[in-house]
Structure 1
Amino acid sequence: MQDLGRGFKVPLPERFRPKSLDEYVGQEHLLGPEGPLGLLIRTNSIRSCILYGPPGVGKTTLVRLMGSATGRELLEINAVTSKLSDLRALADRAVSLMSMGFDPPIAFVDEIYHFNSQQQNVLLPFVESGQMVLVGTTTENPWFEINKTLLSRMLVYQMKPLEDSHVLLVLERALEDEERGLGRLGLSATREALGAIASSASGDLRQALLRLEAVASGVAAMGGSSIREEHVVAFAGSSFRRYDRSGDQHYHLISAFIKSVRGSDPDGAVYWLARMLESGEDPRFIARRICILAAEDVGLADPMGLVLAEAAASAFDRVGLPEGDMILAEAAIYLAAAPKSNRAYEAIRSARKAVEAGDLMEVPDNLIPGSPNYVYPHGDPRGWVPASYLPEPRRFYRPTDLGTEARIKERLRRLWRRFGEER
C-alpha cells in the first residue's frame, strides 16, 4: 500500500495555493482584463482595501499574490489571534520600511472584523498618511463590522462564490500536480466524480480541495486507480450534497420553486420543494429563499407572510429533517396562496438606485435630533401631523389594490397628496 502520509502533512488547500496571478482562478470582475483590482496590482498602484466575500473564494491567496506581484513586503497578522501590541509592532515595521526608502508595505489583516474599534483605530493614522497599504479580509459585511472612520479611507471589493467551472479546473490541476497536488498518487477521476465534488462545494474552493484529498486518499488506500461518483459519496463526508452532473439542477429547481410561489400555484410550489429536498438541497437555503419570497413577492399584500416565513425558518432549525419538511411546505403553500405585491421590493430598489446615482439629500432641519421644529405626531388626536420628511418630494412606494396593501394605500391617500395623484 502506498505511503499516503508522506509529503501530505500540509492540507491540500494550503499547499496548492496559486503562486502567481496567472494561476489564480475566478473573480474575473475584479482581476480580468478590465478588472479594477487587477489593473491596480499590475501597475503597482494598489490602495488600502477590504476584500469581502464568503469562505473559500481566494481572499487570503489574493492578498499574498498582491505582495509577490508588486514586490512589496507583506506584513501579515490574523485578527482572531493578534493583540494590540502585535498591531503596534506591525505599524512600527511599516514606518521602518518607509524610512529605508521602500514602497509602503502591505499590512494584511485576516478576518479584520474581529478587531474592535480601538484596535482598528491603531491603524488609522498609518493608512491615512500612506505609510502602509492596509488590506483586510472579511466574511462579514464591512459596512456593519468595520470602523466607519477606517472604512472611509479604504476601497471595498466584493468577491463572489466560485462557479463550478472554476472549481472543476482547480480540482483537475490538483489531481495531476505531482509537486503540490495529488499527482504522486497516480489517480485518474471521471468527469462526473469531479463535477460532484465541485457542485457540492457551493463555490467554496477550500471545501472542494479538502473533499478531493479525502476521496483520493480513500481510493488510494483501497488500491484503486480511478475516482468515481460512488467514491465521492463514500469519502466526501456528510456535507456532500448530490446535484445533477451539469450543476444546473440546483438553479433550475430553485427557479421553478420561486416562480411557482410567485405565480400562486401551491401544487407547483410543494412539488418543486419536494424535488429539492429529495435531491439533497440544503433546507436552510430553501428557508432563506422562502423568507425572501415573502418580502419580495407577497410583501404588504399580506404582511403575515413574512412573519410566517421567519417562524418557519426558526422552527425548521429546531426540528430539522425529516419532520421539518412539513414546516417548509406550510410556509410555501401559504405564500403561494397569498395575494401578491412586489411594491415594497420595488420601493427599496428605486430608493437605492436614486442614492447610488448621487441623489443625496440633506436631512431636513425639523428631523435633526433636538430640533425645536419637530412636531411629535402622537401629540395630535389623529396620530399624524402634516410635516416634511424629505427636503424635496420623492415617490418610491406605489402600493397596489391587493390584500392588506389596499388598506395601506387608502390610508396613505388620506394622509399624503402624492398618494392620491393616481386617481
Structure 2
Amino acid sequence: MKFFPAGEPAEARRETRRRIRDKGGKAVDLFSGNLEKSAPLADRMRPRTLDEFLGQGHIVGKNTLLRRAIEADKLGSCIFWGPPGCGKSTLAAIVAHTTGSDFYKLNAVTSGVKDVREVIDKAEGSLKLYGRESFLLLDECHRWSKSQSDSVLPAMESGVIKLIGSTTENPMAAMTSAIVSRCRLFEFYALGKEDIKKAVFRAAEDKERGFGNMDLTVDGDAAEHWASVSNGDVRSALNALELAVLTTKPDAKGRVHITLEIAEQSIQQRAVRMDDNEYYDMLSAFCKSLRGSDSDAALFWFARMVYAGVDPRVPVRRMIAHASEDVGLANPSVLNQCVAAMQALEFNGMPEARLNIAQAIIYLCESPKSNSVLLAVDAAAKAAREASRQDVPAYLQDANFEKAKHEKKSEAYKYAHDYPRHYVEQQYLPDEMKDRVFYRPSMQGYEQKVHEYRRFIGKEKKPGK
C-alpha cells in the first residue's frame, strides 16, 4: 500500500494516487501491462468512470444519493447486492479510482480474521499519520463468519475503516445484523437488453481494451441473441463475444464477421440465476401454482428449477406434501400419483422421470382442491396441546391388558360390525371433548361421497367449539 507525505494537499494526494494506479483502481508496476493484456475481455472492459457505468440508474443516475457521495468522496460504509454481472465490483473499482482514501480488497472466501486485522492496522496507521481514511472492499461478503464480521466492527464504528460489501445474497438474510445496521444497502438489478448490447458494441469498437483495432463486424441479431441469453449478466455476454472473435477465422480480406449462427454457438445455454433467495422464491412459486390449479405455471417453475440445477427430488417432495395439504380427500389418488412419481425418479432417474413427474403435476393441479385434511390435523394437534389429562373411556381401553381382568367396565364396547350398516353411535373422544369436531369435509370431489356416506349411516356431528 502506498503512503503519501504528511501535509500533502488532498487534491495532490488524489492526483498522485491516480498516477500510481491503473484505470481499474489497481496498483501499477512494471509487469501490469502483461497482466492486463491476458485479462479476459469482461475484465478489461470494466467501466472506469460513472459516465461509462451501465444500468443501475436508480442508484447512480444523475443527482442520486450514491452518485453524489462518490463524486464528493463522501461515501460511507455500504453493501452492494444483486445478481452476477450487474456491476457491483465495477462500481467498487470506480470508487477506488475516484476516492482519495486508501483502498484495500479482500475476498470473504479466502481471507480470515488475520487478514482483516492487517488491513485495520494499516488503515489505523494511515489515519493517525496522515489523516487519510481507508476503504475495505469485501467480495462475497455474505460468506463472512460471525467472528470475521465481529473483527471489523470496532474499526467501522471508530471510522478507521469504511466497508464496501459486494454480494449476490440478500444481506438482511445472509449477513449479521451488526454489519448490516452500520451500512447503507444498495440493491442492483440485472442489466436490460439495451445495456447488454451497448456493452457488446462498446467492446467491439474500443481500440484500447477491446477489439477496435480489428476489422470486426458484429451483426445486430448476434448482439440481440447475447443480450437475451445472458439473462442480464454482462460478463456472460462479453465472454461470448470474446470466444466468438477469437475462434472465428478472418476472411480473405482479414475481416471477422460475427453472425447470429456464430453467436448461438458461443453461448449455448441461457444463464439462470439461482442464489438462496431465488431458489426459495421459485420453490414458493411452484407450490402456489400447485395450490392455484395452474398446471402451466407449475410445469414452468419445475422445469426452471431443474434447468438451474435444483435436485428434482425437492419439488417432488413438495408435491407429495401438497397432495394431502391442498387436495386431500377431494381426490385421494393424487397422493398415489405423487408417490409414484418419486419412485419413478428413484428407479429411472432424469430425464426419463420428467414425464412421470409432469403427469403427477398436471393431475395434482387439475384435481378438485380441499384443505380439510390440513385443517383437521391442525385442529386436533391444537386440542392435544391445550387439553389437560384426558383419560381414555373405559370401554375403549385395551381389553387384553392384565388390569382388564380385574376391573369392571361400566359400559361395554360396541363392535361396529355387529350393527346394521356396520356403524353404531358411540363416544370415542374423552368426556371433556366429546362434542369436538376436527374434520369437516368439503363439497369437493370425493368428499361429496363422504357426505353421502355419513347420511347413509345416519351419522350426525354436532357443531364443534
Residues 257-406 of structure 1 mapped to structure 2, 5 A cutoff: 264=293, 266=295, 283-284=306-307, 301-302=326-327, 319-321=349-351, 323=352, 325-327=354-356, 329-330=358-359, 332-334=361-363, 336-338=365-367, 377=386, 379=388
Cα gap change, 1:203/1:217 in structure 2, threshold over 3 Å: closer, same or farther? same
How much has 1:6 moved relative to structure 2? 12
Q: Matched residue of 1:226: which SS? A: strand
Distance in 2, Cα, partners of 1:414 & 1:33: 64
Provide the residue aligned with 1:229 in structure 2: 260
- Report whether the alignment pairs 1:167 with 2:213: no
Provide the residue aligned with 2:68 in structure 1: 39
Whichever residue aligns with residue 195 of structure 1, its letter is E
Provide the residue aligned with 1:181 in structure 2: 210
Cα gap change, 1:190/1:48 in structure 2, threshold over 3 Å: closer, same or farther? same
Match of 2:269 among 239, 245, 262: 239
Q: Which deviations, in whole Å up to 9, do the C-alpha atoms of 1:22-48 show, x marking residues without a partner? A: 101011221123544223323333221
- Report whether the alignment pairs 1:198 with 2:232: no
Q: Matched residue of 2:38: which SS? A: coil
Distance in 2, Cα, partners of 1:195 & 1:269: 27
Residues 145-164 of structure 1 mapped to structure 2, 5 A cutoff: 145-164=174-193
Q: Matched residue of 2:67: which SS? A: helix
Structure 1: tracts of 5 or more residues without a match = 242-256, 342-374, 384-400, 407-412, 416-423
How much has 1:86 moved relative to structure 2? 1.4
Provide the residue aligned with 2:45 in structure 1: 16
How much has 1:157 moved relative to structure 2? 1.9
- Report whether the alignment pairs 1:54 with 2:83: yes
| TM-score of the aligned structures, taking structure 1 as reference length | 0.64
The number of equivalent residue pairs is 329
Distance in 2, Cα, partners of 1:89 & 1:111: 19
Q: Matched residue of 1:23: which SS? A: coil
Superposed CA RMSD in Å reads 4.6
| Contact 1:49 1:157 (8 Å CA) reproduced | yes
Structure 2: tracts of 5 or more residues without a match = 1-33, 272-285, 329-333, 371-383, 391-428, 431-441, 448-462
Q: Which deviations, in whole Å up to 9, do the C-alpha atoms of 1:155-183 show, x marking residues without a partner? A: 22221111122111101100111110122
| Contact 2:78 2:164 (8 Å CA) reproduced | yes
Provide the residue aligned with 1:138 in structure 2: 167
Provide the residue aligned with 2:406 in structure 1: none
Whichever residue aligns with residue 94 of structure 2, its letter is L
Percentage identity across paired residues of the two chains: 29
- Report whether the alignment pairs 1:127 with 2:156: yes
Q: Matched residue of 1:185: which SS? A: coil
Cα gap change, 1:315/1:116 in structure 2, threshold over 3 Å: closer, same or farther? farther
Distance in 2, Cα, partners of 1:331 & 1:24: 48
Distance in 2, Cα, partners of 1:414 & 1:233: 65
| TM-score of the aligned structures, taking structure 2 as reference length | 0.58
Which protein is bigger by CA-based radius of gyration?
A: 2
Whichever residue aligns with residue 184 of structure 1, its letter is N
How much has 1:135 moved relative to structure 2? 1.0
How much has 1:319 moved relative to structure 2? 3.9
Distance in 2, Cα, partners of 1:44 & 1:315: 57
Whichever residue aligns with residue 149 of structure 1, its letter is A
